Structure 1
Amino acid sequence: MKKSIIAFSLLVSVVGTTVASNNNPETLKVVTTSIKNVSPLSIAVAKGDYVTTFNFLKYGADSNEKSVATGMTPLMYAARYNNVKLLKLLIENGADTTVTSKIGYNALGYAKLSNASEAVAFLNTL
């Protein structure tokens, strides 16, 4: 027990010293973002996270759910960010390529708007 207390005290003092000695403001900067009214599935797609997207779909996430602010679907995010792998996954799981956002673009429209050439080529084959 005594050895555990000494080891824990040593660990705390080392960590405390490391944090206290780091005066560089660049490493202390915390960046946060606020994403509201967008589904977790759309966020995973926008980040290009295939595994998380796969798991959301596996557990029943709606591949056609529109974000409140823009009316964009996960498929539109995948097209916008030129992610063909996610486009295929979403379409395999029922994503509708004809749905439009609040400004009237479908997934192909967002791909063209973003110069996402691979996504445009893939969506044109459907």
Structure 2
Amino acid sequence: MKKVITFLFCIGVFSIANANVTGIENSNTYTIESITVNDEISSLCKAVIKGDVDKVRSLIATGAELNEKSLGLTPAMYAARYNKAEVLKVLLLNGANLNIKSDQGYTAKDYAKQSNAKDVLEVIKQDS
């Protein structure tokens, strides 16, 4: 009887230890994935998302490509999606193209409409 109880106890301990290791692996996987995604976004697009007008100007001055897609969207699309009107004005003054389509087939104006980005829609209207 002691052998059976000891055997069951060992199986229980092993099962709990295995479950904890699996949980750790999953949490590390999520962390690694989020870092990878962030690294794929260009510096210009990151600055646009944050609404950092000075950083956007600085990156443009050092030759950042205004119409280059990052994760399928141009900087203007990110500005539209996150309602960053002042940033969009800077992008437009430097030659950003609002007619480019994302990998999903949407323009910056489409993203502004989807996000109800009223300030950006006003900037786009004035630019037309």
**What is the TM-score with the length of structure 1 in the denominator?**
0.69
Match of 2:106 in 1: 105
Match of 2:119 in 1: 118
In structure 2, what residue type is equivalent to 1:58? A
Partners of 2:49 and 2:78 within 8 A in 1: yes
Q: How many pairs were matched up? A: 94
C-alpha distance in 1 between matches for 2:84 and 2:51: 7
C-alpha distance in 1 between matches for 2:40 and 2:96: 19
Runs of at least 5 residues in structure 2 that lack an aligned partner in the other structure:
1-30
Secondary structure at 1:36's aligned position in 2?
Answer: helix
C-alpha distance in 1 between matches for 2:47 and 2:119: 20
Match of 1:43 in 2: 46
C-alpha distance in 2 between matches for 1:42 and 1:65: 10
Instruction: Give percent identity, aligned residues only.
Output: 42
C-alpha distance in 1 between matches for 2:41 and 2:86: 21
Secondary structure at 1:52's aligned position in 2?
Answer: helix
Runs of at least 5 residues in structure 1 that lack an aligned partner in the other structure:
1-30
Runs of 4 or more, structure 1, over 6 Å off, are: none
Question: Among 58, 62, 66, which residue is 2:61 paired with?
Answer: 58
Partners of 2:80 and 2:109 within 8 A in 1: yes
- Structure having the higher Rg: 2
C-alpha distance in 1 between matches for 2:51 and 2:96: 17
**What is the TM-score with the length of structure 2 in the denominator?**
0.68
Secondary structure at 1:64's aligned position in 2?
Answer: coil
Secondary structure at 2:65's aligned position in 1?
Answer: coil
- RMSD of aligned Cα (Å): 1.7
